Amino acid sequence: MLKAASVVGSGILFLPDGILARGQSPNERLAVAFIGLGAQGKFQLDHLAAKSELVDAVALCDVDDVRAGTAYERFPKSKKFYDFREMFDAMENSIDAVAVSTPDHTHYHPVIRAIRAGKHVYCEKPLAHSVAEIRTITEEAARKKVATQLGCQRHALPNMARVVELIKSGAIGDVTEVHSWILGERGMPKQPDGVGEPPETLKWDLWLGPCRNDWKFTTTGGKPTLVPYNWRFWWDFGTGETGNWACHILDLPYWALDLKYPVKVSASGPEVDAERTPKGMDVVFDFPARGDLPPVKLFWSHTKMPACFAKFGISATIKNKEKQNVNPNNLFVGTKGMIFAGFDRHVLLPEERFTDFEYPNQTIPKSVGFHLEWINACKGQEPATCNFNYSGPMAETAILGNTAFRAGHKTFDWDAQKMIAVNCPEVQAAIKPDFRKGWEY
């Protein structure tokens, strides 16, 4: 049900399947449960509830009272939970939607439960921790017809739309390869050197959730090994810099080139560590022709310096015509030129070829706001721009790259329909996760 605002003359409005019909009063409010209240959870609260007249935060759920911060004080009428399962048991009929902002390994269970209950879902990237989890979420969301949005907030930036318009207009011809990257060498954290007791404010067993390995509350250099952030660089819980950034960065080529699932994957990089994510890695994804669009190679790198800079003789400090620095993370290579693009700015290359270039008309409308897109979709309006039908395959591709790397730098053909890594049993064995007892789904 969607909850009506408490205004004079209004009552509670009950609707089937949790969908608000078009044309209903804008005063009707969405009852949202927030699962995970830390850094990104606070961001969702700020953008969905604290500043919105369209949302009620009816439930707040976090395993860590410290990370939850001031959320409980800010929303004193919201019901408080540590375990999302208890929250659903108690409030399923009072919730329209959920926003999930927990560590990667605990995305799947609350998301799939919400979807199967007919609830709308906003989930942080990379959607889930494994290929099979992501595919299940994507297909179930489509089957249940719930409104979804993956947390790729940069999708709403105007520059992103302008780059998409350029590519779709044929400004650089047929795009045959794309180079995408995240700079840096985060990963391979130090091993734990101690074991302590979790603080009383942290429900450690719930934080571990479905993780099949029996992790103690370890410390490294006197500080917690995993919480509040470094879980991201341990395979049991996170997905490294690829999981952290690929959904943001690959959003542009996926949008501009109508990509979905690759047909071939090849991973390379440093020696694989069974427990920790790497300081760098490379994956090449081959995508087939899509209608009139030719096949394309997508090169993903977590690196200190993208190889394409030397290959194409370009500089990381390139400026656009307005003499502004372009902080790039994508290079589109076409038959008539290239586009060097960041989230906020872009430049056409070689610059002398585009001196008198006239930009195509703007055809992509300005976003009403990334979070408002989802709220509107929950109320029966247009799907949000990063709904799981679009963003699910993108997230799955990123995690498939991780899987190929972890399996030992594998190269294989990918049968996306059957979810089979052809003649690559090492990758196939890692497609579906094993949950610990009590967390089977």
Same domain, 349 and 228: no
Count of the separate structural domains present in the chain: 3
Is 5 a member of any domain? no
- For β-strands 281-287 and 175-183, DSSP reports them as unpaired
Is 133 a member of any domain? yes
Over the chain (441 residues), what is each successive 10-residue block's mean pLDDT? 38 33 55 97 95 94 96 96 98 98 98 98 98 98 98 98 98 98 98 97 98 95 97 98 98 98 98 98 98 98 95 87 91 98 96 94 97 97 98 98 98 98 98 94 78
Same domain, 175 and 133: no
Q: Count CB neighbours of 173 within 10 A.
A: 14
Same domain, 57 and 142: yes
Same domain, 101 and 168: no
Map residue 175 onto helix, strand or coil: strand
Same domain, 215 and 327: no
User: Which amino acid is it at 88?
Assistant: F
Q: How far apart are alpha carbons 180 and 394 in whole angstroms? A: 13
Same domain, 305 and 418: yes
Same domain, 246 and 150: no
Is 435 a member of any domain? no
Same domain, 52 and 113: yes
- For β-strands 281-287 and 296-303, DSSP reports them as antiparallel
Say if residue 13 is exposed, middle or buried (CB neighbours under 10 Å; 0-12, 13-18, 19+). Answer: middle
Is 320 a member of any domain? yes
- For β-strands 30-35 and 97-100, DSSP reports them as parallel
pLDDT of residue 27: 53
Q: How far apart are alpha carbons 276 and 238 in whole angstroms? A: 9
Same domain, 309 and 382: no
Same domain, 285 and 421: yes
Is 4 a member of any domain? no
Token readout for 378 is 């929950």
- Please give the residue range of the domain that contains residue 258: 159-186+240-365+396-428
pLDDT of residue 322: 87
Same domain, 259 and 200: no
Q: How far apart are alpha carbons 347 and 363 in whole angstroms? A: 19
Is 11 a member of any domain? no
Is 441 a member of any domain? no
pTM, to two decimals? 0.94
Contact partners, residue 405, CB within 8 Å, separation at least 6: 267, 268, 269, 272, 278, 281, 283
- 120: CATH: 3.40.50.720
Is 439 a member of any domain? no
Q: What angle do CA 150, 154, 157 make, to 5 degrees?
A: 130
- For β-strands 346-349 and 338-341, DSSP reports them as antiparallel
pLDDT of residue 164: 98
- 285: CATH: 3.30.360
DSSP result, 207-272: HHTT--S----EEETTEESSTTTGGGGBTTT--HHHHHHHHHHTHHHHHHHT----SEEEEE-SPP
Same domain, 204 and 117: no
Q: How far apart are alpha carbons 246 and 152 in whole angstroms? A: 10
